[in-house]
Structure 1
Amino acid sequence: MTTETAPSPLVIRHDHDGYVTLVMSNPARRNALSGAMMTALQDAFDQIANSPDIRCVILAAEGPVFCAGHDLKEMGGISECDQHASLFAQCSRLMMRIVSLPQPVIARVRGMATAAGCQLVASCDLAVAASTAKFATPGVNIGLFCSTPMVALSRNIARKHAMRMLLTGDPVPAELAFSMGLVSDVVDEADLEAATAVLAAGIAARSGMTVRLGKQAFYKQIEMPLSDAYGYASDVMTANMQKHDAREGIDAFVEKRHPQWRHE
């Protein structure tokens, strides 16, 4: 009698004090965003969204490639237009889930992040990259313009930087990606995990209510005209001032002590 072994999970979760690390775990396929991988990530983020004790998320990957984008073998095996549309719609939902997630998401990038993998980095709130990491939107090289990655990319970097990446497909090294605004931090590869953990732990140590409120407000106001943005932000700060943690934080500052957050 033979026993079947359960398939290895595509996303592995590690819980820490106040934050979680999600690790894409399909290095043999370069952590490609297959339908199954996207479902696993979506499920993990949906679960985290409803977890008030989690105040930050690190998104990482096993192996030498962070994420190679869509699984071209899977895409090539699909012939129906509606199947392709379903796959791209699934990818868009995943990227929007990251943006709408109450908790900040930090991409921890080692190796290459290409096409939808670059989109994944651009969709995260912060990105810490190893100095050896590279980023590219090379769809133009195979006759498939990186149109959906373009959405996140063009909301992170200046137009001409984005167009250069999209039109040439050339890989961008980490330091240049930093200067363009695609990543927030660049560190030596040996320090990548530790530096990202310090950043996540620092965010998790803040008031979870304040961080959730601030992330939501950031993405909402950035699409508004200037006067509307100020009106909205003023309303947010007014509501924020009524919260326990705001009152506690101000009192602690005046009294020169550490605040005791209730995350509410």
Structure 2
Amino acid sequence: MLYTPEQTAGFASYTFRHLLTKQEDHVLTLMLNRPEKKNALNTVLLNELAFVLAYAHYEKDVWLVVLGATGDVFCAGMDLKSLTAGEQAESTVPEPSGPVRLGELLAGLQKPCLARVQGAVYAGGFLLVGGCTHVIATDAATFSLPEVKRGLFPFQVLAVLLDLMPARKALDLCLRARTLSAAEALDVGLVTQIVAEGQLESAVQQWADELRQYSPTAMQFGLRAYQQLKSLPPGQQQAFLHAQFQQIQETADAKEGMAAFLEKRPPTWKGE
């Protein structure tokens, strides 16, 4: 992580320039709030995202994250103008301990994350959408990787897409710069659910309500194991997963879940 637990402990005292945040009922909602720039990611916004996601990772009371955006564009990707101009806007959070790589931020969250996609997603915005565990989009949302039109290539996006779909489909999206409709994005595995524009908020709430019924500890164990599996050779994976199962059985949530099952009552999760 780019921030320590001590740095993020004062989360409530920070005022963010390009993020709106709300924490309620174990759900941390983040809204990209740079609509005048189509929510393009500049240094300030990247640092704010890194800081808030580190907080969400460490904070026991946060069981899941909702990531949305204001305006009519979800995210236009990196703000190339501000990055190439060396924009020196004053940071709103402590300096991260290293470079902020967008493709790694959500991988380090290790908690369920719902993308609330109300508009177009371009370029590096795919790293946000692709890094979430679930993506709920309106039927008007679109998805496009235009980098090859500008002499560039979406290298980091390709790595994320290869986790979601067959290689030929991922490469085609990068090579032909096609604009996908929400239905096409659902078909290739980029989107989880499509809803009408007026139903987006309620659909996201339904997903959050369902996920809050289950053990946050179990989900965190599972998502952490999913990330760790990627670095293990096939011959070591089953031994690793067996060890993980042994460990999770000793958690308070696992003991509560089994007790609730035997006593035929709803469990009371502690996130431990």
User: 1:76: how far off?
Assistant: 4.1
Match of 1:142 in 2: 150
Gaps in structure 2 of 5+ consecutive residues: 1-14, 87-97
Q: 2 CA distance for matches of 1:26 and 1:206? A: 34
Q: 2 CA distance for matches of 1:111 and 1:20? A: 21
Q: In structure 2, which of residues 236, 245, 250 is the aligned counterpart of residue 228 of structure 1?
A: 236
Match of 2:118 in 1: 110
The alignment status of 1:212 with 2:190, answered yes or no, reads no
Q: In structure 2, which of residues 134, 153, 163 is the aligned counterpart of residue 155 of structure 1?
A: 163
**Which 4+ runs in 1 deviate beyond 4 A?**
none
Q: 2 CA distance for matches of 1:247 and 1:43? A: 33
Match of 2:199 in 1: 191
Match of 1:40 in 2: 48
User: 1:104: how far off?
Assistant: 1.7
User: 1:73: how far off?
Assistant: 1.7
Q: In structure 2, which of residues 243, 248, 258 is the aligned counterpart of residue 250 of structure 1?
A: 258
CA contact (8 A) 2:28 2:66 kept: yes
The one-letter amino acid paired with 2:154 is: C
Q: 1 CA distance for matches of 2:52 and 2:143? A: 25
Q: In structure 2, which of residues 100, 106, 112 is the aligned counterpart of residue 98 of structure 1?
A: 106
CA RMSD of superposed structures (Å): 2.0
1:59-91, Cα deviation, whole Å (9 max, x unpaired)? 10001100000112224435xxxxxxxxxx845
With 224-233 and 115-124 compared, the bigger mean Cα shift is at 224-233
Match of 1:171 in 2: 179
The one-letter amino acid paired with 1:209 is: T
Give the number of aligned pairs: 248
Q: 1 CA distance for matches of 2:16 and 2:106? A: 24
The one-letter amino acid paired with 1:248 is: E
CA contact (8 A) 1:34 1:71 kept: yes
**Identity %, equivalent residues:** 29
1:81-116, Cα deviation, whole Å (9 max, x unpaired)? xxxxxxxx8452x33121111322211111111110
Q: Report matched runs for 1:29-108 at 5 Å.
A: 29-78=37-86, 90-92=99-101, 94-108=102-116
